[in-house]
Amino acid sequence: MLLMLTGSSCSGKSTLAFAVADRIDHIAVHDTDESGVPRNPPPHWRNHNTEEWIRRALDYQAHGIDLLLTGQAPLGEVLAAPSASLLDGIALCLIDVADEDRRRRLRQRDPGRWSESDEDRFNNWAAWHRGHARDPRHRPDVITASSAPMMAWHRWTSWTAEDPRWQIHLINTTDRGSEKSADDLEQWVNRQRQALRSGRHPLCRGWAEQRPPLR
């Protein structure tokens, strides 16, 4: 199973993922940045990076291990990756933080690196993530335009916010201790695993072939 933590920079994704690594059995924890991030990423870079990590999730899956992965790929991009339909299950959690907190964290993590306009771009990306989490019809062009030809966007672009497969959990780390957020993440992982074991997970194997529910 792929358990993806997504969101804009400095929301706390990696901190939370590695905080729960020792609490959960049969799980591997990775950050997509481990593959290396080019200084000026080409338009298709994240598409191919996402597919690369999904293939690694399939390798772990073959050995009975789930992958808890942190990165910036939203649910729509994960579902459209060529190999996503081969996963036993997919779950996504948006890790978010208030804009001013993100600015402060960026300045503490990378002193002098980011201009104010750079910080604005990080916060604009976070705002788009929030809209995408609520509704798949929110500006899909942000990720579909100029994407890699391999991407299977048709798998979900007809979905609405009411589709039970469009479930994105939210953990907001604003003004919260890391221990509380880690507890929330651990509980979310356990719920996803239980839903998959019981056959109730909305994104278990076969989700790509399902027809959207009638409204």
Amino acid identity of residue 7, one-letter, is: G
Q: What is the pLDDT of residue 149?
A: 96
- 24 class by beta-carbon count within 10 Å (0-12 exposed, 13-18 middle, 19+ buried): middle
- Predicted pLDDT at 213: 54
CA angle 21, 168, 81 (to 5 degrees): 85
Asked if 200 and 9 count as a contact pair (C-beta separation under 8 A), the reply is no
Q: 77-81, 170-174, 176-180, 184-188: which range is least confident on average?
A: 176-180
pTM of the model: 0.94
Which residues are bridge partners to 69 per DSSP? 4, 30
Q: How far apart are CA 5 and CA 115, in angstroms?
A: 26
The amino acid present at 155, given as its one-letter code, is R
Angle at 47 between CA 72 and CA 202, to 5 degrees: 70
User: Is residue 38 very low, low, confident or very high in pLDDT (cuts 50, 70, 90)?
Assistant: confident
pLDDT of residue 215: 47
pLDDT of residue 212: 58
Whether the CB-CB separation of 28 and 57 falls below 8 Å is answered with: no
Report the half-sphere exposure of 117 (CA within 13 A, side-chain side). Answer: 0
pLDDT at residue 74, as a whole number? 98
CA distance 184 to 193: 14
Tens of pLDDT, residues 104-143: 999 999 999 999 999 999 999 999 999 999 999 999 999 9
Q: Quickly tell me which residue has 């030809």 as its tokens.
A: 149
Q: What is the pLDDT of residues 49-97, one digit of tens each?
A: 999 999 999 999 999 999 999 999 999 999 999 999 999 999 999 999 9
Give the pairing type, strands 27-31 and 66-70. parallel
Count of other CB atoms within 10 angstroms of residue 2: 25
Is the pLDDT reported for residue 153 higher than 60?
yes
CA 54 to CA 56: how far, in whole Å?
5
Contacts of 209 by beta carbon, 8 Å cutoff, 6+ apart: none
Sorting pLDDT into bands at 50, 70 and 90, what band is 41? confident
Mean pLDDT, to the nearest integer, of 3-28?
Answer: 96
Q: What mean pLDDT value characterizes the chain?
A: 95
